[in-house]
Chains A and B, each alone.
Chain A
Amino acid sequence: MKQIARRRAKGARWPLMVVLVLAACALALAACGGDDDEGDTNGGAANAPEGQPIVTWTYTDVNTEGPQYKNIEETARIYEEWVNSEGGIAGRPLETNFCDARGTPTAVAACGREAVAGNAVAVVGNFTFTGDAIIPILEKNNLAQWGNCCAIAPSELVSPISFPMGNQPLYSVGLVKKAVEDGCKKINGVIIEGAEAFIPLMKNAAKAEGTSIDQFVTLPATAQDFAPQVAEATSGDADCLVMIVSETPYIAWMPAFAQSGSDAVMYGPQGNLNEKVAEGFEEAVEGDVVAGMYPDISLSQWDDYRGALDEYNADMSQDYNSLGGMGTWAAYEGFKQVVESMDGEINNDTFLKAAETAQIDLPGMVPPLDFRVPWSKDGGPEGYDRLVNRCVVFSEFKDGELTPLGDEFTDVSEIAGGTKPMDCGPPFG
């Protein structure tokens, strides 16, 4: 009996061995798939930076089942190479470190602690849906979160160490404003599950513009057949859809929308309703409007960015005409301005002090930003203190491509609950 058991045991080992071999193959197969282009740095340093590097941390969600922002990681890397080839920041080399927040509060908190342990001067150009997990750590350690496009967590909108350069969540207000201006008669809202907090903002904006959004359709967060939701959203002779939907569900939305034959114009957010989403549905998106924070990448103010993407071998599968891409570049440009305005030692404490009184001037990238006065002390509602950028910019789909609509930022302060307008700066062009 024991012999039989032993024979069986011996015989039973071969599947284990095969599994081990396959496991090794799986690792190899997976490893082959990465697009980790370690691009050669071709740029020669005109004035080689010297001294101790200025250390920054950039974090975002990359390896996650949810939305991924590898374009942020890529832009931070490329900015480091580009700025160092241009003489660095204040003559010193920039050292950017990347941390993958993986879409979880635990991982993003670890990113914060890594930044603290790594003596970062600031956390720059980041984005994650779980920002609330990192802000208290940064607060405790006097570490600024600088320049991010999209302050989506409540604490990012009120914390004194948070310095967002984007206008999140006011582009939703901009979408409503634009739809009303375009003469939409019946506007329906489409919201991705979990973004219901945008609804009051949009309703208030519609009310301020003298209209209303009667129906909001919620899209399930996981992609599925969205034909019923399309039918519901386009029902009641809706001629315009104001949408707060991220890129992944947009990709699943488009076939169902195109097949529905609806003529409704879609108003969507920058970086989400984008050319990648529109691919194959050029006809369906013709005339659709995108509201965002940063003017189109094709404009001259982004020449350096486009050149750097090309020169430093950016992963071109990513979308750089986006909040993540342009937002991170603008954040680092703003960071450079603050650092170069500083005297003496550059560390997290001194940077935070300088940031508190910073006035950023990046013409055409963002409107003039003044971090000295929180919005709540400048006529804004509670809960949006750090929102110093309240200007929106629009693009439109033409022949499947996003093209800028106009050459200036549009202020939405008042329809977003503020009492005073904001100076969005001169036209760019």
Chain B
Amino acid sequence: MEEVIRFALLGLGIGATYALASQGLIIIYRGSGVLNFALGAIGMAGAYAWWELTANQEWAFLPALVVGVAFAALVGALVHLLIMRPLRHSAPLVRVIATLGVLITIQSIAVLRYTATSKFVQSDLPTDIVTIHNTIVISADRLILLGIAIVLTAGLWLFYRHTRFGLATTAIAESERSASSLGISPDRVAMVNWALGCGLAGLAAILIVPIVTLQPAVLTNLVLAATAAALLAGFRSFPIALGAGLVVGILQTEVTRYVDQTGVGTAVPFLLIVLWLVIRGQALPLRDYLLQRLPTIGTGQIHRVGLAIAVGVGVILLSIMSPIWIDAVTVTICVGVILLSIVVLTGYTGQLSLAQFAFAGFGAWVGGRLIATTDIPFLLGCASGIAATIPLGVLFGLPAVRTRGINLAIVTLGLGSAIELVLFSNTDFTGGFGGTQIGDPTIFGLNVNAASHPTRYGLMALVGLTLATLIVGNIRRGRTGRRLIAVRTNERAAAALGISVPAAKLYAFAVAAAIAGLGGILLAFRTPSISFAQFDSFTSITMVAYAMIGGIGYLFGPVIGATLAPGAFSERLLNEIDDGIGKYIPLIGGIALILLLLVNQNGIVKEQIAQIAYLRTKLARFLPFLAMKEPEKRELPAPSTEHRVKVKSMALEVENLTVKYGGTIAVDNVSLAVRPGEVLGLIGPNGAGKTSLIDAVTGFTKASSGSVLRLDGQDISGWSATRRARAGMGRSFQSLELFEDSTVLENLRAASDPRDLGSYIRDMLWPVDVQLGDTVLSTIREFRLEDDLDRFVEDLPYGRRRLLAMARAVATESSVLLLDEPAAGLSDAETAELAHLVRRLAKEWGIAVLLVEHDMTFVMSVCDELCVLDFGRKIASGAPSEVRNDAAVIAAYLGEEEAAAPQTSRPERISEKEGA
């Protein structure tokens, strides 16, 4: 036991460093919503500034400390001002990658200036030995560091809790828009927080470099581990981060001491991250989940002639170039395959994974070990490696079911790091001293050893890239692609259409893992002895950066991005220009990444597509065959029946529905029923619980026990949102939640596509669009969307978007339709037209409609019956004519006193109040 306590105390030193680093992460995240991967590098810059002054200029510790901290703070403020501020409306992915650009840039400058070797720095803190109970020995500086961490935590807690600035930061973290309306400048607050966070990182760095040595990358590694502490603290609480940092440090030390397996101890923080997020995550985002603009995606169309030319050029180059150039092109191709996996996962599905290089390494590990230790043929070994990454991809994807955005990025980084530390770095698993030797690989008797036959190997890689590109293009164009894009754009809307969000995510992870596995095999098998050390987690992060640069949503983006990888085309080119330029490549890469993100977040390919289109237009004057083809006018087939579509009749019954958010009761024991062919209006003042009721009925919010929901007589209380949607329950959202970067037709197809699982496999090889069904054809006509089908949603006027949101719900062949404020923001004429439409959907299509709406004129004209909520309770129900004169309803809308006064036109007054 004494030993356990001893190592726990020793773990406090590491824990204190994690705690300090995590505080900096939290400050910046709270102030600007950015997970700053560059924090360690910026702190390190402050430490180097301090070291320059103390070691070279012979400054005293304290003045140099002040300058070092101020320098780090200045760098932080500049990073915000020059990079993060212009990117403040960009996707979280873009901002994370931008911090990566900063990290690479600062670290490269440090390596060039100071080299990557460690420098020992004398501690200015006392290092006397403190003995506890005669046996436990600990250095005083660790205890002082712990004390500093505690004092700083207390200071930060007080500062952010009791100062105007701290409260402003909290307000912005809660709701930037609301804080702005109170006169708080989010930009200024973010900049100060960046300076504070980075200044703190500088302070922490200066204090801990005597322990961990001064080295460009050492603090970046610390920050990755400290992310676990910040995460456990929800990126909010300084005291919890302190405690979490210490716990992580202690756990790491104890595991290292008692688990005799390489890397397990180091992997502790990363495993904690995964565990925590899986426990705490949510299957679907809540209503306030911020939808941000994502990088654009391509159509997935592959021009056969263009592809043939590209492959032909590749073959010729690989056949005539010198081996050194062939290898550069081969590396580009292999990395391109890995980046293609990011296109599927992040580009199409919106899942930010920082583990793609780990998948690549895992594929190479399985394939390599099989080939090295058994008599398995080379191709079969490769196929086994690819197949083995699929379950791993699903395993990594499981947390994605419950987390998203930055949290998911951290989880995948954690899992990838764990694989690197426990598997790739452990010679027990990689073949011991002899390593993993695959010898001379042969395909159908043909030697494809990259050393002796570089052209053959390059051609094999080219075949791999071509096949992977065709598969990804097929996925994009098929209904699988629409499902993935629906999930990427809006998980809630996707679930409301009956798309299984978990299935789509797991599929994307599995396919992406397999593609990455293929890329990893191609990359690693270039040498007969496989190096697994190359598949490190930091490179995994840079892979996403390369994908971003090329174009994360485009099929050709990976090839462009891959040219920037180490050993790939760009590096070779620069080396050919000047031998000495090689050492500047990381710095050039970092700067290029930042500049590209500032000017074009959609990738180089998107720009190239625009330029090619421009060029073709210009050249078409002289070469008419180059002219851009006008899109053919779409002719819709007529519905197969002369009669209007009649949906399957279903009734919705709600009994004793209660919804609680913590201690707040949003819906209190409400019962109602919606019958086919009828419109039930659900009204009530703001905050009455109307949307909560819709969310609970459709499965987006959990109903409390005792609540009973029946669809067509069947109890659906325990069903997921997706299952309810598939059973015939459609809904629209207050905030529309359309798939903005898809066309109108794609939105409708996403709603009406069959949900068979077989298409996930079939689409990879042969994406076939099923004929539009009668329901969707009738919907298009009913909502008069014929001329808008090929328009992107973001280009539609507001009224058309409202109609599309409803049309999309109808296109799912819903029997019960729950409409959440469909008339909001519409003109009087549009509202009148909508009223007719809703009536027709009920009367002619046979749909049971539950309508939440504030426009009382609209409600009164459309609804067969009304149900009124106030503070979550049902206060009245019945025909509109009865409800409008109900005293309780009038009181709820107007207040008790006004309700008591004589009224002549109560519905209008109710309407006015609602409108307010």
Contacts and interface: CB of A to CB of B under 8 A. Distances in A.
Contacts of A27: 584, 587, 591
A132 B531 contact: yes
Contact of A30 (B6, B328, B584): B584
A139 interface: yes
Given A23-B595, A29-B109, A104-B534, A223 B117 contact: no
Contact of B116 (A65, A104, A129, A229): A65
B210 A255 contact: yes
A66 B86 CA distance: 35
A48 interface: no
Contact of A196 (B10, B138, B427, B599): B427
A248 B211 contact: no
A225 B142 contact: yes
A231 B428 contact: no
A254 B211 CA distance: 9
A220 B141 CA distance: 21
Given A19-B83, A193-B425, A228-B257, A280 B120 contact: yes
A26 B587 contact: yes
Interface in B445-467: 449, 451-452
B734 interface: no
Contacts of B123: 255
Interface in B69-94: 78, 81-83, 85-86
Contact of B427 (A194, A251, A259): A194
Contact of B118 (A31, A139, A223, A225): A223
Contacts of A360: none
A220 B218 contact: no
A136 B327 CA distance: 14
A42 interface: no
B595 A19 contact: yes
B217 interface: yes
Interface string B182-213: 00000000000000000000000000101111
A18 interface: yes
B331 interface: yes
Interface string A1-40: 0000000000010011011101100110111111000000
Contacts, number: 235
B253 interface: yes
A26 B591 contact: yes
B528 A132 contact: yes
Interface in A217-248: 218, 220-225, 227-229, 231-232, 247-248
Interface stretch (B28-36, B431-439, B657-665, B831-839): B431-439
B10 A220 contact: no
Interface in A59-87: 62-68, 70
Contact of A222 (B114, B218, B582, B598): B218
A377 interface: no
A150 B222 CA distance: 31
Contact of A105 (B85, B114, B527, B583): B527
Interface stretch (A113-121, A324-332, A409-417): A113-121
A137 interface: yes
A109 interface: yes
B422 to A, nearest CB: 11
Nearest to B263: A193
B127 A259 contact: yes
A154 B433 contact: yes
Contacts of B217: 65, 222
B566 interface: yes
Contact of A65 (B112, B216, B253, B587): B216
A71 B783 CA distance: 76
A15 B115 contact: no
Interface residues of B, number: 91
B828 to A, nearest CB: 25
Interface in B585-602: 586-587, 591, 594-595, 598-599
Nearest to A106: B567
B211 A15 contact: no
B10 A228 contact: yes
Given A29-B109, A222-B218, A255-B120, A229 B434 contact: no
Given A65-B216, A130-B531, A256-B211, A137 B434 contact: no
Main secondary structure of the interface of B (DSSP, over half): helix
Given A139-B451, A197-B427, A227 B139 contact: yes
A44 interface: no
B13 interface: yes
A61 to B, nearest CB: 10
Contacts of A229: 256
B566 A106 contact: yes
A194 to B, nearest CB: 6
Main secondary structure of the interface of A (DSSP, over half): helix
Given A30-B109, A223-B118, A247-B117, A116 B527 contact: no
Contacts of B7: 228, 231-232
Contacts of B115: 68, 70
A193 B138 contact: no
Interface in B705-749: none
A261 interface: yes
Interface string B146-168: 00000000000000000000000
A311 to B, nearest CB: 24
Interface in B517-533: 526-529, 531, 533
A100 interface: yes
A104 B531 CA distance: 9
A22 B527 contact: no
Contacts of A223: 118, 212-213, 215, 218
B129 interface: yes
Contacts of B108: 30
B613 interface: no
Contacts of B322: 113, 117
Contacts of B210: 255
A225 B120 contact: no
A135 to B, nearest CB: 8
A109 B451 CA distance: 9
B314 interface: no
B14 A225 contact: yes
A132 B435 contact: yes
A396 to B, nearest CB: 21
A231 B109 contact: no
Could you say which of A67, A106, A116, A259 has the most chain B C-beta atoms within 10 Å of its C-beta? A106
A231 B118 CA distance: 22
A228 B85 contact: no
A228 B435 contact: no
A16 B595 contact: yes
A365 to B, nearest CB: 26
B6 to A, nearest CB: 7
B633 interface: no
Contacts of A133: 526-527, 529, 531
A102 interface: yes
A201 B217 CA distance: 32
B105 interface: yes
A65 B452 CA distance: 30
Nearest to A222: B221
Nearest to B78: A22
13 contacts: A15-B598, A22-B82, A26-B587, A65-B217, A68-B115, A107-B567, A129-B533, A154-B529, A231-B6, A231-B137, A232-B257, A252-B213, A254-B120
Which 5 pairs, one residue from A and one from B, show the smallest C-beta to C-beta distance? A33-B113, A106-B567, A132-B529, A197-B433, A136-B451
Interface of A: 12, 15-16, 18-20, 22-23, 26-27, 29-34, 62-68, 70, 100, 102, 104-107, 109-110, 113-114, 116-117, 129-130, 132-133, 135-137, 139-140, 153-155, 193-194, 196-197, 200, 218, 220-225, 227-229, 231-232, 247-248, 251-252, 254-256, 259-261, 277, 279-280, 383
Given A221-B425, A259-B139, 15 more contacts: A15-B86, A33-B109, A66-B116, A106-B534, A109-B567, A194-B533, A196-B428, A197-B432, A218-B256, A225-B17, A227-B10, A229-B256, A247-B117, A255-B211, A383-B434
